[in-house]
Amino acid sequence: VTVPAVVRPAEAADAPLVRGLLQELGYEARGFDASFARVVGAAPTRVWVAEGDGRVVGVMSLSFTERLALGGTMISIDELVVTASARGRRVGAELVEKAKEVARELGAARVELHTRRSRESYARDFYVKNGFVEVDSALLRWEP
Ligand SMILES: CC(C)(COP(=O)(O)OP(=O)(O)OC[C@H]1O[C@@H](n2cnc3c(N)ncnc32)[C@H](O)[C@@H]1OP(=O)(O)O)[C@@H](O)C(=O)NCCC(=O)NCCS
């Protein structure tokens, strides 16, 4: 990416590109198409893509939850990925900046995310460098 990336809401036509990016993150969900169709075009915008050199090089998906304990909305960054050839050029930072901008506009109480400690981005302190603070938290899961 030689030009600064532009972050814009994802559109229906971005589905195959977004699917490819999620594969780079290690996800290959059978229900992807239906899931994407449910959230694309939703307000507030749930899926954002970064475009650089006329192609989509990154995606970030958000979800919004009303948290009683916070007395407001919590925004979660559910997926974030920049294609390997475009990494290290602040595209990821731009996407995270968009999440913060959405939070400010909405008056949200918090932006949160889960990541794996084994990911390279965690080792490189990507989130800390972008203003996030690691908290003491346990993640538990149930899957049918
Ligand atoms: C994490 C990720 C989204 C960051 O996106 P990005 O566009 O590379 O991020 P940035 O360019 O804003 O910042 C990356 C940092 O790594 C450095 N970097 C340099 N070359 C790099 C490269 N080839 N690959 C990755 N990072 C590189 C950047 O300089 C920057 O560090 P700095 O702020 O100390 O200079 C992206 O690397 C990615 O998709 N990784 C794989 C998936 C992943 O881990 N996702 C997050 C977990 S859910």
Tokens of 105: 């506009």
Q: Tell whether ligand 1 has an atom less than 6 A from the beta carbon of residue 130.
A: no
pLDDT of res. 141: 96
pLDDT of res. 1: 67
User: What crossing angle do the helices spanning 32-39 and 15-24 adopt, rounded to 10°?
Assistant: 120
The β-bridge partners of 105 are none
| Rg of the chain (C-alpha set) | 15
Interior angle at CA 133, CA 139 and CA 99, nearest 5: 85
Ligand 1 centroid – CA 126 distance (Å)? 6
56/133 Cα distance (integer angstroms): 29
Q: Tell whether ligand 1 has an atom less than 6 A from the beta carbon of residue 76.
A: no
Give the residue ranges of the chain where pLDDT is below 50.
none
pLDDT of res. 77: 98
Our mutation pick for probing the ligand 1 site, out of 56, 59, 112, 126, counting the most ligand atoms within 8 A of Cβ, is 126
Tokens of 98: 């968009």
Could you tell me the pTM of the whole model? 0.93
